[in-house]
Amino acid sequence: MGMALEAQIPLWMNLSLAIVALNLLVWPLVSRWVESHLELFLLLVGAVAVTVSGNWSWAFIKETLAYPINVAFIVIVISVIFNNYSRYIFRVLFVFFRALEPRYSFALLIFALGVTSSLVSVTVSALILAEVLKVVNLEKDATVKITVFACYAIGLGAILTPLAEPLGLVVTKALSGPPHYADFFFLFRHFFGWIAPAIVCLAVAGGYAARHAGTTLQMHIREDKETYSSMLHRTLHIYMFVAALHLISTGLRPLAQSTIVHLGGKVLFFANMVSVIIDNATLAAIEIVSNISLADLTYMLVGLVAFGSMLVQGNLPNIVAAEKLGIKSREWARVAVPTGLALMGGYFICLVLFN
């Protein structure tokens, strides 16, 4: 299953890349320095992975430098808009949050971000979430939980069309010919029923996390505007994150090709846990063949989107929201790993029973 390998991948390369992947998983959770400088660590690990796999070239360097530009542009534009017009934007939100109890407000917010993320950029969805949470006075624990649940919902919803992120586009293009003849609404038709219930559950969990905010939730309009240097600094961090993800996905591709491509649907579901360190679209490009069965496709895609938010570096919305809100790797993992395992268990049972 997947793309044919151009050449047999040497054992030493697979072992070396496996060690790289292990370091990628462990160090952000055990080292405070790595946790505080995650983008630098990811760039270093990505460079090592590309070196081991022998993928360096001038064309690849240019591609890596250009890859994050669209995301960085969206981040800086949305940041400037919110910074200059937040007073007007949040007056509308004040009405919304005052009309409902916080648990209902946040549940509806997460649900709305999840179901609309397939129509807009996941970066925009994550930035909207972060901006709302920055003006709502919640405890840090509640903020982290709501952010994690919302980013899971955004990642799940984004798969439903080819617009929001590369994963949907890769799948739609790969299946555009026989026997599936995938069109723009192919993913929505086949996966909405799998995705929508999880988004509802995540929205309920987010509302529950805000239950202690009470009925007198305080919101404030920021009078002190963020400096442009601060916005540029944050945008640079996100640029480095996205460039690092491109390096990591390319560098670890040989390991994924030699270990994943021959797996069946059920095993592939669990194997796609590596989406916490390898870009979803890269894995999809490796795993999908044009004649894949709908059953195997469902196992594959549901596994990719269910696992992607377990670590900060696993998905673009995580990176954007965590950077904006100052959420550290361990804070994220403490909430996101149990959430991902719960999604995994629930989805696998449902897939076995109904797929």
Q: Percent of the chain, pLDDT > 90?
A: 50
> Could you give the CA distance from residue 294 to residue 317 in angstroms, rounded to a whole number?
27
Torsion 263-265-268-272 (CA) sign: positive
CA dihedral 344, 309, 153, 85 (to 10 degrees): 170
Residue 5 has pLDDT above 50, yes or no: no
Instruction: Classify residue 215: in a domain, yes or no.
Output: yes
Number of compact structural domains in the chain: 1
3-state DSSP: the chain helix, strand, coil percent, rounded to 5? 75, 0, 25
Q: What is the mean pLDDT of residues 151-160?
A: 95
Instruction: Classify residue 4: in a domain, yes or no.
Output: no
- Quick one: pLDDT at residue 214? 55
What contacts 198, CB < 8 A, 6 or more positions away? Answer: 152, 153, 156, 306, 343, 346, 347
Question: pTM, whole model, 2 decimals?
Answer: 0.86
> Could you give the CA distance from residue 76 to residue 238 in angstroms, rounded to a whole number?
10
φ and ψ at 252, to 5 degrees?
Answer: -90, 0
Instruction: Classify residue 313: in a domain, yes or no.
Output: yes
CA dihedral 72, 168, 120, 130 (to 10 degrees): -60
Residue 181, exposed/middle/buried by CB under 10 A (0-12, 13-18, 19+)?
exposed
Instruction: Classify residue 126: in a domain, yes or no.
Output: yes
Structure-model confidence comparison of residues 206 and 99, the more confident one: 206
> What is the extent of the structural domain holding 75?
68-354
The distance in angstroms from the start CA to the end CA of the chain is 19
Instruction: Classify residue 21: in a domain, yes or no.
Output: no
Q: pLDDT band at 287, cuts 50/70/90? A: confident
On whether the CB atoms of residues 272 and 300 are closer than 8 A, the answer is yes
Give exposure, 87-108, as e/b (b: 16+ Cβ within 10 Å): eebbeebeeebeeebbbebbbe
Q: What is the mean pLDDT of residues 96-110?
A: 85
Instruction: Classify residue 7: in a domain, yes or no.
Output: no
Instruction: Classify residue 42: in a domain, yes or no.
Output: no
Instruction: Classify residue 86: in a domain, yes or no.
Output: yes
> Could you give the CA distance from residue 85 to residue 290 in angstroms, rounded to a whole number?
47
